[in-house]
Structure 1
Amino acid sequence: MNLQFLDVASPTVVLEDISYLQSILSLKWVKMRVVKDIHKLKKYLEQFDYLSYSKNKTHANDDDFDDLLESAIKTYQLNFHLNSNRALDTETVSKMMMPRYGVADIINGTRVNVVSPVAGAFQTWAANTYFRFSRIYNYRDTNITIGFQRRDHGDGNPFEDPGGTIAHAFAPTIGRFNYDADETWSVSARPGNMHLETIALHEIRHLLGLSHNSIENAIMYPSIAERTSKRLDRDDIE
């Protein structure tokens, strides 16, 4: 069986109305300055986790160029190796106007390369089963899609506060695998973090239509503690 998976991304996202970006080129940050349509930029930066108003919603939906937005623009510039001048200059705005994948670049404040650990998990299953997986970039042609989602994200299985359900996957023919974006994730097993590849190993088996088992050392044991790294157990593949 040959399954395909998207590059750890949800559908390509294109800003519906990008004309407002043209009007704010070269705008320097001025605290509390009101800028027409800047709330649209806030939504864009929130979508990709550069900006969060979860602790202070005062300016979440207004057009004030506040200090949180300034910080988010700088983080965006640093992530894309742009001049981190906190200004909406031509280079920064041009990058924002490009079509892109929908997965957040920043997860809980940390830049994370999620492709390598997830690809590693698929390779592990391929090495221990007859399944074969191919990485592709056309969302419409995928059998499996992978992403980070929050709360109620439309699949009937909403995530809750951190520490509950950390990820879920749906067996064929649905083929969706979602991490909870509100958890703290890492490519290594660190205190306070969930291990991306270990969780991927678990959820991929669900994607293949298989369920939990009661062997605590197995990857398919139904619960896992933070900082835990696992490989496949004999019970997972027999």
Structure 2
Amino acid sequence: MLNRILILTIALLSITAGADKTKIDERALSYLKRYGYSTCESSSTSKVRCSESPALMLKTFQRYFGLKITGKLDKSTRAMMNRPRCTVIDKPSRSHGPLGMASGFKWPRLSLKYRIESFATDRQIKQEDQIRIIEEAFNEWSKYTSIKFVMVCPSCPADMFIRFERGDHGDGSAFSESTLAHAFFPTDGRIHFNSDFTWTAS
């Protein structure tokens, strides 16, 4: 009986594997994995190994962003993948480092201190304007929560740490060319912006 079940299972798997001939390149698979759609991995020989149907992953991505659901890496899907974005994952998972939309991570108090450890270049936007804009953003958060945010000096003890970084900046989550920023769960507190983008006050 077990042999029959195994034979039937293998046959069904073969049919399923043969049916999905969706073409998807390694860059697209890497994107889907990074943002929570895939468990695919790329081997050292650049051959893509995947435990999920590419068509299913693409359909999930298309549904999430309100695109036409084709299950194919079409023009509109690729364009959406190429848009600048933050690294908040679309399908939450606590296994990811940068902040995903998950619950259960809380600050132990309602008064939080933040410090700005580095800035975007002055030719993009003046430091005083950056300080003002960040303060305004935290004040906006405070309107809808019980949390109060207080800025402290760059060397003072703090709960949150704001930096402008480039590329692989040592936190295990290198910026890609389309990543605007990322943050980490409480109580880590790191907030990083991509300096390769041009930041303005408007």
Structure 1 length normalisation: TM-score? 0.36
Q: Which has the higher contact order (CA 8 A, sep 6+)?
A: 1
Structure 2 length normalisation: TM-score? 0.42
